[in-house]
Structure 1
Amino acid sequence: MADRTPKRLCTICARGGSKGLPGKNIRPLLGRPLLAHSLLQARASGLFDAVAVSSDSPAILEVGRAWGADLLVERPAAMATDDAGKLPAIRHALSIAEDRLGIHFDTLVDLDCTSPLRLPSDIAGAVALLEESGAGNVITGTPARRSPYFNMVETGPDGAVRLAKQPEGAVLRRQDAPPCYDMNASIYVWNVRGFTGHGPLIDADTRLFVMPAERSVDIDAELDFAIVEFLMQRAGGPE
């Protein structure tokens, strides 16, 4: 009988030109380069036929090689500028992987290099949600600390303040507001058949995999790095 297990590719995209925290993608975190944490989590999940690292930086690609990436993808300069979106780089990595490996992938997972607090079980849960639901893609998020229905406001041209999103009825406690989530930029999963590398990330065919706040910190600044390091140390070290 033919193997019906979906062919799965994991991509980890890491630019060399971070402005907020230079060199963050290979900065040591508890004795390992930041990139290595995502690589090891992908491996530990046991899900992937291949793991690819995409970067414009030779130093980052070398770290990817040293920590077990199956494929190193040199990202074109046009896809590595400050204004370039991430989706085209993921699409490029997918195309290169399929050409080089001779595999047509069914499921595509991108792990954000700057979100190292996820667990392999989070990756498995997000992939299962996609494959079992038949959704087009899955994003990850965590329960929002503030609600647009209760304690998030915006101002109009006249300076008047109003709730960011008007509830259907009175909301007297945040707990009574409709559930809202912060995207945590940790795991993205696509059915390859519908993945184009452009267009909206969220549409009617998107599903949400919920992760706890303690695994949902994205490193964008020095404070974020310190918080992640503290949380990892409290949890007993890297996975």
Structure 2
Amino acid sequence: MKGHSSRVPGKNIRPLAGKPCCYWIIAELLKADRIADISVETDDDGIEATVRADFPGIKILRRPDALKGDFVSMNPLIEHHMANSDAEVFLQTHSTNPLLRAETIDAAVEAYFEPGGHDSLFAVSAMHTRLYWPDGSPVNHNPKEMLPTQHLPPIYEENSCLYIFTRDSFAKNGHRVGDNPKLFPTPHLESVDIDEEHDFAYCEFLMERRLAEEAAAAGRS
């Protein structure tokens, strides 16, 4: 969790549905059965204090000065994390995916370990829509046929919700996505990634609706 965000200032700890944004994904990771250890990596005192206030047992990994700033790529940060961990298999997610549920996290881990020789896994959103290249040529459909969009072959968008990889696969490929990755579609209502202000507003709307539904269900039980 980086302290500075130019597009959505303070997004990692900005209140979202009554809690800091980062609260929601950490809470789900703690509920997941297939997660053994959780670490929060940050360069910011305010983020560290916020995490410690709600989750005092979570490990905090601070970025060294060489890895601070807006232009540091993800790979050196992953390498830094690995150097400070004894784990062999890693799942990376983000505070900006607050809608991701523990059940989906567990399902992704289980999918990763299924037979098939995959060296990594990453979350995707399935898109059934008519797409075009910049020159106007179709990507995934024949304009002369005009099939209903639900019958089009899906195109998958990397949604940043989660990545699973091993220490060995990262060393071999130099990237969290290996040579033979498994694509893992996540539910649409869990797959919002907060990049812009409208994403934050949409996440908050969905989270408030989720909490209201859970409260209503609890009242009926």
TM-score interval, smaller chain: 0.7 to 0.9
Contact 1:52 1:97 in 2 (8 A): no
Tell whether 2:195 aligns with 1:220.
yes
**Cα offset, 1:72, TM superposition:** 1.1
Cα deviations by residue, 1:56-97 (Å, 9 ceiling, x for unpaired): 111112222223253211112333322222232122112113
Partner of 1:9: none
Matches within 5 A, 1:1-239: 14-68=1-55, 69-98=57-86, 105-133=87-115, 134-146=117-129, 151-156=130-135, 161-164=136-139, 172-196=147-171, 199-236=174-211
Distance of 2:202 and 2:41 partners within structure 1: 26
Distance of 2:195 and 2:134 partners within structure 1: 27
Task: Structure 2: state its 5+ residue gaps.
Answer: 215-221
**Cα offset, 1:226, TM superposition:** 1.1
* One-letter amino acid matched to 2:90: L
Residues 213, 88 of structure 1: alpha-carbon distance in 2 compared, 3 angstrom cutoff: same
**Cα offset, 1:189, TM superposition:** 0.8
Distance of 1:74 and 1:237 partners within structure 2: 36
Structure richer in helix, relative to its length: 2
Number of paired residues?
A: 211
Contact 1:137 1:188 in 2 (8 A): yes
**Cα offset, 1:208, TM superposition:** 1.3
What's the TM-score, normalizing by structure 1? 0.78
Alpha carbon RMSD of aligned pairs, Å? 2.5
Structure richer in strand, relative to its length: 1
Sequence identity percentage: 28
What's the TM-score, normalizing by structure 2? 0.84
